[in-house]
A and B are shown apart, each in its own frame.
Chain A
């Protein structure tokens, strides 16, 4: 697959650092993601890949560095030569650009699948309920769950819950989709249905950053694969190169440990 070329990257991450107490989770990470690009981030747990993803939609506040999404500085504003931290309302508005899919689905447990999907459009975007339901049903149909719209999360399998979660994120019409190990909490036989939905989404031209352990998915769908270790990017490039013929020793060690 070819990477769509555009002058300005949709996501520009520059020199981002993050500490959790004494733990240095991100050590000056820089990364660009082009519009329409599918980027997979791989690496061992504790390598900082999930933290980096959560920094992009500001679930984690960065210590230093900067992130621009569609040219807009995330969580900060420069006024008169000074950097101002944004308030909660502004951050909430910026989050509308990104949709997030969590490892543990995090569907709203007291709402049906349909209610989960329309919650954002109705409550945050102020859409009318009828219109939101129509869009939501189309989205649920797209992820193959039109018949489950009235079910509560507890009545759905893990794979079905994750597909509802994808529909919920898409309902906000984000420019960018973030996936945080979307199949890691699933029984092996349910992984395929979620990856199929993600693959379809990638084919439709959605910009995606996917933190994953599914190397097969990365190989097939990703335009680019990034390998992270100890809070930094070790290697980055086309999937065939990073996964097929890694240059760095740490990448080789990780891949041989994962594949064996």
Chain B
């Protein structure tokens, strides 16, 4: 660069003091354009639904009828129970999978293979129809019962969804355990911890940080998966909606009702996940 360029009207102003000049940020024309197109499309969509063959009055009226609310409650209860069962089984299977004991390792691998390998709806039907295989359940001499009495839609849905979920959760937990530095395990051993204590106190709490985001994903999946339980007569929200439209033929309106509730439940859960993530990210930030 020549000495003369340093004072030219436009350009890099080589070595001049820029402090006094106003800063103009780059304009994001692309963002404005995209936002405009999006808003327009959204308006068209809303208009289409508003003018379409939907009686919105029915939607609002049925949104809070008793059987729908019961269905919503059942959906939430089933999601929580099945997820709890899934996490319990998943953590157990993951720990077994990483055990030095080859028997436990094989059992865990077999469980994951079996329940990941079949469609959930098929598993639900199998549990629900278990009485066809085993008419009676029990421990000989201690307790017994007719399978049909035990295998209610709730129990069948819980087992079907929870046991299937456990197979997926075990892989998520295993990934989390693998993400913890091997040095953490060695340090735990060096202060005399057993393998199980090290897992419980040192490894799993740190694995949680990695596990929670995909688990949130799995939980949201579970909420929607409960809708499959309607095929075995479990009265979750979609089942309730179907029962109503079988009677009044307002199919789309009631599907809208169910859709709104699913979205609502998921929206409430997302901030909960944030809270959990915060809790388990202790010690990873620069400052608390």
Q: Is the CB of A109 within 8 A of B190?
A: no
Q: Are A120 and B191 in contact (CB under 8 A)?
A: yes
A108 touching B202 by the CB < 8 A rule?
yes
Residue in chain B with minimal CB distance to A107: B187
- Are A169 and B283 in contact, CB atoms less than 8 angstroms apart? no
**Least distance between A89 CB and chain B CB atoms (Å):** 6
Is there a chain A Cβ closer than 8 Å to B224's Cβ?
Answer: no
CA distance A92 to B189 in the complex (A): 7
Q: In the complex the two chains form, is B283's CB within 8 Å of A111's CB?
A: yes
Contact B206 A109 (CB under 8 A): yes
B146 interface contact, C-beta 8 A? no
A-B contacts at CB below 8 angstroms, number = 83
Report yes or no: A110 in contact with B206, Cβ–Cβ below 8 A.
yes
Can you list, as one digit per residue, whether each of A227-259 has a CB less than 8 Å from chain B (1) or not (0)? 000000000000000000000000000000000
Q: Quick check: is A168 within 8 A (CB to CB) of the other chain? A: yes
A91-131 interface code vs B (CB 8 A; 1 in, 0 out): 01101101110101011111110000001100111000000
A109 touches B283 (CB 8 A): yes
Q: Which chain B residues in 256-288 approach chain A with CB under 8 Å?
A: 280, 282-288
Cα–Cα, bound, A88→B195 (Å)? 8
Q: Give Cα A111–Cα B280 distance, bound, in whole angstroms.
A: 11
B183 and A59 form a contact (CB under 8 A): no
Bound form: Cα–Cα A154–B286 in Å: 6
B201 within 8 A of partner (CB)? yes
Q: A95 to nearest B CB, angstroms?
A: 5
A120 to B189, CA, bound (A): 10
Give the nearest-CB partner of A98 in chain B.
B190
**Inter-chain contact A155/B187, CB cutoff 8 Å:** no
In the complex, what distance in Å separates the CA atom of A43 from the CA atom of B104?
Answer: 42
B259 to chain A, nearest CB (A): 40
CB within 8 Å for A108 and B190 given contacts A152-B282, A152-B283, A152-B288: no
Query: Known contacts being A123-B197, A154-B285, is A106 close to B183, with CB within 8 Å?
Result: yes
Check if B189 sits within 8 Å of A110, measured CB to CB.
no
Residue of B nearest to A95 (CB): B192
Whether B181 is near chain A, meaning CB under 8 Å from some CB there, is yes
Cβ–Cβ < 8 Å partners of B189 in chain A: 59, 92, 95
Q: Judging by beta carbons under 8 Å apart, are A92 and B187 in contact?
A: no
Q: List chain B positions with a Cβ less than 8 A from chain A.
A: 181, 183-184, 186-195, 197, 201-202, 205-206, 280, 282-288
Supplied contacts A124-B197, A152-B283, A155-B287, 6 more A-B pairs, CB within 8 Å? A89-B194, A92-B194, A102-B190, A106-B186, A155-B286, A172-B192
Q: List 16 A-B contacts (CB under 8 A).
A: A59-B189, A95-B191, A99-B190, A99-B191, A100-B186, A102-B190, A106-B181, A108-B202, A109-B206, A120-B192, A123-B193, A123-B197, A124-B197, A152-B282, A155-B286, A169-B190
